[in-house]
Structure 1
Amino acid sequence: MADSLNNVYRWPHELASVLACGVGAGLLLIQAPMFLLSPAQGQVAALALCGLAARRWHQAQRILRYRRAVRRSKPYALLPHELPSSPQAVFLGKGFEWTAEHTQRMVLLAQPENDHLRRPSALYQWARRREREANCPAWLQRLIGWPHSLNPLLAMPPVGGMPALHGMSIDEQDVWTPLAELNNHMMVYGTTRVGKTRLAQILIEQDIQRGDVVIVFDPKGDVELLLGMYSAALRAGREDDFMLFHLGFPEVSARYNPIGNFEQITEVATRATGPLPDQGQSAAFKAFAWRYVNVIARAMSAVGERPDFRKVYEYGVSVDKLGGKYLTQWLERHAPDWHSQFDPTPTREHKELITRAEKNGRDIEVLMMMAFFKQQAYQDPIADALASILANDRTYFEKLVNSLYPLLEKLTSGGLADLISPQYDSTTDPRPILDWLSVINRGGIVYCGFDALTIRDAAEAVSASMLADLTSTFGRIYKHGSGYGMPNPEPLRRVRLHADELNELIGPEFVQAANKGGGAGLFITGYSQTAQDIEVKVGTPAAAEQLGGNLNSLIMLRVVNADTAAKLTDRLEEVRVATRLVASGVADTNDPDRVEDFSSRNEDRISMEKVPMLDPAWLMKLPKGQAFALLEGGRLMKIRIPLPLPHVDARTPANWQAMLEHMRIQHAQHTDRNPEQGLTVEGAGSGY
């Protein structure tokens, strides 16, 4: 009955056959005549029994390996240079393809008779109690810590979860997915400290080794991720392509203007006002602020100034200055003799104008230029827009754009001002200026840290603007072709964008990038803790589903709620599994002519039923560093991610030391607050 269910968790009865064959073979070699055989015939018979014993031993070993695999997790670690790489595929780890057979084994393991396999043995629990004792003998500590797979006392890696999930198969191999498949983008879910960052390192280092353009958005700032990227760039000989942008460390960061590059001038206002609230009554104020910034951006572009946050704030507070500059340039181009017709000195005829200037707090000379502009019947949409702004009472107008000023002030204070509002013509600032088109054309590697734990508002504003700028750049590449802006265009470059804490970056710009970026060579991999994080950020389940529809490949590490797990399990079909039902019964008889007083019946029934291929609860019990991956349109893989072995590369830039030390302190504090600590194996540092 057990064999009909392919029960790999039964007791290995083959061991009895091995013992019997071994004893028989020994007797045939020693006392062949006792079996009425000649010595030569005894040797042949003994050889045949040894062959049968070997076959039965192999079968028993298979059962024993399955019984052991569901109880223990095997360590798996790699040095950075040992990480496989291929120009056509992406390496994810070791594992196997999950099928209905593995679901069947999980059902069998859940039977009450297999409870002892799921729990640690009594000997293992005794060893854990002894090693916690202060007076544990040194010889016992050495025995317990003997690093061999056959040592029943050896402590399992501190990965938690249910080891049985990977023990459903004793044969695993390297798991690869075709690189072209990732053009459909990938989503990675996993709660804190279960392996998302390590998986990101594995994918990023392969991208760098492959020669792709690599862009990493890291809202919090992970020191190991940054060092891993730079170390991979060194190994690939691409250190000159590496560029660091970090809001928390302006002194070592590249400079970047999030609103300085655009194809349509309206993009400036969209990026600058994107972080403003737009729910309820706030939507009207955001729309008004957008129009205000758009007028400023149009005027700045017309007078030949590149928009940046500092200038937008400067002109926003005093739009009169921009109005005067724009009108002067316009009149110089279209009416060169206007000075002879314009008198800037107010007269009694300008009494109403003077009163309005004093009341509204406006520059009287700019208002007089506006009046002259209208008097001459000149037509210009930007001048009209500026005139409508200047006609408003200044106090009232500032109330309408009140939500804009605090945001701009945060983005133009301290060292942040020079970082995201760079002076392009400065000869005293050696920091490079980040430009996405240049990065893509030269095959760059960019790490973007936003220090969201310290300056959350600024981080959200800059990251959203940066993503919008990147999306606009891909739009230009999509329309104009690869090598846009270069005299000798090169073939389309593959761009790998890795977005950690994706919920911090999601907005309309990201949806557009996921929708349209594939045609321009963009491959997106997003990382998030739960599906609800994304849903809260976008506002509605429908919007979250719209985003999820663009992220076709899915990798799920341990998650903390069933709704997130359902993002994977709902995409799988149900499978048929066999279940065993033990039935027994007793019936008495009242027939006086029959000898028996009762009859009994015992039977095992096998029935087939449909169950989900994966139970969402299993995804909530995954050990750290393990995941299920839905790849290539429906291929379900169970994978183990390799731990990082300690690797020190001292060739980091000298001016990074203070930054790295600060990032390590922040990382340690975050880990101390988190009850789940990083993994270690023999000779391995923390990895998850």
Structure 2
Amino acid sequence: MAQEHTLEILLRPAVELYTVYVCAAGAFLCLFAPWALALTPLFGLVTALAFLALGSVRLRQALQVLRYRRNIRRLPAYSMTSKEIPVSNQRLFVGKGFRWTQKHTQRLMDTYLPTFAEYVEPSALTQWARCFEARLEFAPFPLTLLAKATAWDSPLNPVRPLPPVGGLPRLHGIEPDEQDVTLPLGERVGHSIVLGTTRVGKTRLAELFITQDIRRQKHGQFEVVVVFDPKGDADLLKRMYVECERAGRLGEFYVFHLGWPDHSVRYNAVGRFGRISEVASRISGQLSGEGNSAAFREFAWRFVNIIARALVALGRRPDYLQIQQHVINIEGLFLEYAQKYFSEQGPKAWEEVIAIEGKLNDKNIPFNMKGKPLRVVAIDQYLSATRVADPVMDGLRSAVRYDKTYFDKIVASLLPLLEKLTTGRMAELISPDYQDVNDPRPIFDWMQVVRKRAVVYVGLDALSDTEVAAAVGNSMFSDLVSVAGHLYKFGIDDGLPGASGGSKVAINLHADEFNELIGDEFIPMINKGGGAGMQVTAYTQTLSDIEARIGNRAKAGQIIGNFNNLFMLRVRETATAELLTGQLPKVQVYSVTPASSASDAANGNTAFTSNTHDQIGAVSVPMIEPAHVVGLPKGQCFALIEGGNLWKVRMPLPANDPDEVMPADLQALAANMRQTYEVGRAGDSGWWETPGQRALNEALPDDLVDGFRQLAATDEGA
């Protein structure tokens, strides 16, 4: 019977069916031939009901055994459309699953016993069918029909192939009774990390979380959603657009993509700041601070800070392009600021400067000022003879007094970074021209995003240029940290007329492939960003990726230690798997040892006595092993949430939804992203994508198709 005992054996024949058959036969006789059992019709009816009651109990027990055996080999399909994804103001839906306990460890250990191999491993006939299909791959036409017949994915096929998800179905099949797995929203402020190797479902899980974040409303207000996508996933972009359309948030949906500037909004990573020194910190933070590089990094910080202060004093908003221009030619900024400074001091100052300039020649110019414009040298000499009370002028003067060769050396590490960020059309996006009224592309900043409760997709085109993607991503993170600090101190409505600070707003930050983005800026975001409502969900492959990017094991451990919720998909690195398994307790599992003995009899009437029995022993084992994490099928994960509770989860597969349509420009962008970023995936199984969803991108209205063709023709003509 399928009951709770010390030893629970569910991998066995469903012997309860024998009782069901007998009860069914007895009920039939009692109803239609009660005289055969010496019963009156009335007593036959009562007896039949008793048979049926017993049979139903035994049938339920048999079905439990049969369902358990089926799930061990093949799980039932689980899919839903995006409309069906539940959205709650209290909890975040993750998928279906169960809380892992000692019972499941016991069941999992039992599946590895040779006794139960026939219920766990594929049958000999199924294995023969797979070999038969492989042999007929290049066979002539009539024979290929046989291979297609055996590969037919239908319950009517006795040798039906398993879904192309790999892994061990038994890991989830050991618990037939699933429930919805959810994470309380109050736990999200502790941040979450999703670990999994390539193509196992990280982005699908991100789509599930992002869908709920976009559609969630609290007290009539939406939440802020920011998604960093370094590699550029077209389906993720499409999902965000569709969900914004359903939620009525298209007016607050921004797409920033370094690879497609024509379809992108613009953003100035250093244009908004609480303190002017933040500009220098965001730029110099991209430079190496290890060893001898630390001194050059400090020099770079100082010169960028001098330039930023001068630009602000001149009434300009700093950006990468201006900073690069003035790092190369600091004298131009010095002259421009001197003109403003002397105009405030009075016309006599300029007269003295011009007089000094007229007396200059190669003999009376200091060595360190050789090669500089005479006007710069004259201003420097005038300021040497005059007490200067302007810190901006002092800083600029100290910069221009450096020897040109020496100055180029100390900023040598800064110029390559600035050139990466200002080369080509990228400068249009991260150094926007605020005076160009003919550019229809909007310009956003993070404070504006938070106040508007906007949704932002950030595509960093990391496959084309990893270093530039990391530099822009780090600048954005640093800017977000600054905004979080401002929100923590002053609230969301600070500076607005009649504002009292306002309450905190949930800022849902999703960082896919975040090992490509993280730097020193990321640490304070997860350390202290929670106080400002920042809720980070990071997605990456392994712990080694984080350590390799940071270059410091202690800092990598500091980052990981700030994630309270862990979602572990299939990984290939044992150290990454141990991040989960090492935090779990050990449990006691039971094993059966057959024992028998025989001895001579003490009297003459009996030749010998024998004894046979089973000994039940207990052994302490880990709740799950790293090998189980390595063996997870695609779309499944272990979740360590709510203070260390272990859940086994499987995510819903996307079902076809014909209502999902994007406009022509975003369709073109998504098509280009698929063509550019997904080359080489023709052999991918596409386990997450239904046939109807593959055809969805082609089944667009005629007007959108025509618009797409016109856009493509325009691009070709250009």
User: TM tier, shorter chain?
Assistant: over 0.9
CA-CA distance at 1:554 after TM superposition? 1.1
Q: Which residue, 188, 193, 197 being the options, matches 1:187?
A: 193
CA-CA distance at 1:154 after TM superposition? 3.0
Supply the distance in 2 between the matched residues of 1:488 and 1:246 (Cα, whole angstroms): 36
**Is 1:500 equivalent to 2:512 in the alignment?**
yes
Report what 1:267 is aligned to: 278
Cα deviation, 1:79-136, whole Å, max 9, x if unaligned, reads 2222211122211111122222111211222222111222112333344455564545
2:388–2:394 contact (8 Å) kept in structure 1: no
Q: How does 1:125-524 map to 2 (within 5 A)?
A: 125-129=127-131, 133=136, 135=142, 145=152, 147-148=154-155, 152-210=158-216, 211-335=222-346, 337-344=348-355, 346=357, 351-354=362-365, 356=367, 359=370, 361-489=371-499, 490-524=502-536
What TM-score does the superposition give when structure 1 sets the normalisation length?
0.92
Query: Partner letter of residue 100 of structure 2?
Result: W
SS, match of residue 550 in structure 1 = coil
Supply the distance in 2 between the matched residues of 1:76 and 1:554 (Cα, whole angstroms): 23
1:645–1:685 contact (8 Å) kept in structure 2: no
Query: Partner letter of residue 321 of structure 1?
Result: G
1:506–1:538 contact (8 Å) kept in structure 2: yes
Supply the distance in 2 between the matched residues of 1:453 and 1:631 (Cα, whole angstroms): 33
Query: Partner letter of residue 571 of structure 1?
Result: Q
Judge which range, 278-287 or 469-478, deviates more.
Answer: 278-287
Q: How does 1:583-602 map to 2 (within 5 A)?
A: 583-584=595-596, 601-602=611-612
Cα deviation, 1:553-602, whole Å, max 9, x if unaligned, reads 11111111221112222222222222222334567x6x998788876554
CA-CA distance at 1:483 after TM superposition? 1.7
CA separation of 1:601 and 1:593: change in aligned 2, threshold 3 A: closer
Judge which range, 374-383 or 578-587, deviates more.
Answer: 578-587
Cα deviation, 1:377-416, whole Å, max 9, x if unaligned, reads 2233333333332222212221222121122112112111
CA-CA distance at 1:310 after TM superposition? 0.6
CA separation of 1:127 and 1:331: change in aligned 2, threshold 3 A: same
Report what 1:15 is aligned to: 17
CA-CA distance at 1:142 after TM superposition? 6.3
Supply the distance in 2 between the matched residues of 1:111 and 1:634 (Cα, whole angstroms): 29
Supply the distance in 1 between the matched residues of 2:360 and 2:252 (Cα, whole angstroms): 64
Cα deviation, 1:156-208, whole Å, max 9, x if unaligned, reads 22111100111111111222222122111111111111111111111111111
Query: Partner letter of residue 666 of structure 1?
Result: T
Query: Partner letter of residue 167 of structure 2?
Result: G
Q: Which residue, 653, 660, 663 being the options, matches 1:643?
A: 653
Supply the distance in 2 between the matched residues of 1:266 and 1:683 (Cα, whole angstroms): 53
Supply the distance in 2 between the matched residues of 1:30 and 1:378 (Cα, whole angstroms): 115
CA-CA distance at 1:355 after TM superposition? 5.3
Supply the distance in 2 between the matched residues of 1:577 and 1:633 (Cα, whole angstroms): 24
1:353–1:367 contact (8 Å) kept in structure 2: no
1:157–1:679 contact (8 Å) kept in structure 2: no
Query: Partner letter of residue 5 of structure 1?
Result: L
Supply the distance in 1 between the matched residues of 2:398 and 2:364 (Cα, whole angstroms): 14
CA separation of 1:327 and 1:146: change in aligned 2, threshold 3 A: closer
**Is 1:81 equivalent to 2:83 in the alignment?**
yes
Number of matched residues?
A: 682
| Superposed CA RMSD | 2.8
SS, match of residue 482 in structure 2 = helix
Supply the distance in 1 between the matched residues of 2:690 and 2:592 (Cα, whole angstroms): 40
Query: Partner letter of residue 252 of structure 1?
Result: H
1:274–1:461 contact (8 Å) kept in structure 2: no
SS, match of residue 70 in structure 1 = helix
CA-CA distance at 1:670 after TM superposition? 4.8
Identity %: 43
2:242–2:660 contact (8 Å) kept in structure 1: no
Query: Partner letter of residue 106 of structure 2?
Result: Q
What TM-score does the superposition give when structure 2 sets the normalisation length?
0.89
Supply the distance in 1 between the matched residues of 2:186 and 2:568 (Cα, whole angstroms): 20
Query: Partner letter of residue 313 of structure 1?
Result: Q
SS, match of residue 228 in structure 1 = helix
Query: Partner letter of residue 575 of structure 2?
Result: D
2:17–2:58 contact (8 Å) kept in structure 1: yes
SS, match of residue 525 in structure 1 = strand
Report what 1:617 is aligned to: 627
Cα deviation, 1:485-544, whole Å, max 9, x if unaligned, reads 322545432211100011112122211111222221211111011111112222233212
2:657–2:693 contact (8 Å) kept in structure 1: no
Supply the distance in 2 between the matched residues of 1:338 and 1:601 (Cα, whole angstroms): 116
Judge which range, 445-454 or 574-583, deviates more.
Answer: 574-583
Report what 2:617 is aligned to: 607
Query: Partner letter of residue 507 of structure 1?
Result: G
CA separation of 1:352 and 1:519: change in aligned 2, threshold 3 A: farther
Query: Partner letter of residue 253 of structure 2?
Result: F
Judge which range, 480-489 or 437-446, deviates more.
Answer: 480-489
Report what 2:673 is aligned to: 663
CA-CA distance at 1:375 after TM superposition? 0.2
CA-CA distance at 1:43 after TM superposition? 4.1
Supply the distance in 2 between the matched residues of 1:201 and 1:581 (Cα, whole angstroms): 49
Supply the distance in 2 between the matched residues of 1:524 and 1:226 (Cα, whole angstroms): 19
**Is 1:627 equivalent to 2:637 in the alignment?**
yes
Report what 2:56 is aligned to: 54
Supply the distance in 2 between the matched residues of 1:88 and 1:184 (Cα, whole angstroms): 15
Q: Which residue, 113, 122, 134 being the options, matches 1:120?
A: 122
Supply the distance in 2 between the matched residues of 1:516 and 1:670 (Cα, whole angstroms): 41
SS, match of residue 214 in structure 1 = strand
SS, match of residue 215 in structure 1 = strand
Q: Structure 2: which 5+ runs fail to align? A: 217-221, 697-718
